[in-house]
Homo-oligomer: A and B are copies of this chain.
Amino acid sequence: MKLSARVEYGVRAMAVLAIYYQTGPLPLREIAEQEKISLKFLEQIFPDLKKANLVESARGSQGGYMLSKSPNDVKVGDIVRAVEGPITPVDCLSEIDTKACCDRKDACLTRQVWEKLRDRINDVLDEVTLIELVDIKPVYKSS
């Protein structure tokens, strides 16, 4: 039940883009520096975000990436699914890969739990948008 570094970095990077929303394209180099993430690794992640229409890119000098819609409308779930693919706690649940499923589909005692789990995970991740990540300022302890 771990998220990959890809996802973690993807969400962090998108949060940064949310902060710089509507200020023109932001180069990955900037994000990499701010978030201490390998530039080359970020370069691998962003094509996925682009395919999912979450970001737009501008090539060449002064180029970079920008959100393709308001931070309001970008759910964390969108990012996770874009970067890691559909969320399936067990392979058995993936629609495409029905052969990997247990043969006795109907009799499978555990299937229901994993379905419930999958749905709930998607729910939580879809409840939070980039706005919430960026807007709610953390409270610094005075002690």
Give A residues with C-beta under 8 Å from B: 1-3, 8, 11-12, 15, 76, 80, 84, 87-92, 106-110, 112-114, 116-117, 120-121, 123-125, 127-128, 133-134, 136, 138-141
Compute how far the CA of A116 lies from the CA of B128 in the bound complex, rounded to whole angstroms: 10
- A133 in contact with B110 (CB, 8 Å): yes
Q: A76 contacts which chain B residues (CB < 8 A)?
A: 113
Residues from chain B with Cβ under 8 Å of A124 in the complex: 116-117, 120
Q: So how many copies of this chain end up in the complex?
A: 2
Residues in chain B near residue A108, CB distance under 8 A? 138
Bound CA span A3–B134, Å: 30
Can you give 29 A-B contacts (C-beta < 8 A)?
A: A1-B1, A1-B2, A1-B84, A1-B87, A1-B89, A1-B121, A2-B89, A2-B90, A3-B89, A3-B90, A3-B114, A8-B92, A8-B110, A11-B113, A12-B110, A76-B113, A106-B138, A106-B140, A106-B141, A108-B138, A109-B138, A110-B133, A112-B133, A112-B136, A113-B133, A116-B128, A117-B125, A120-B123, A121-B121
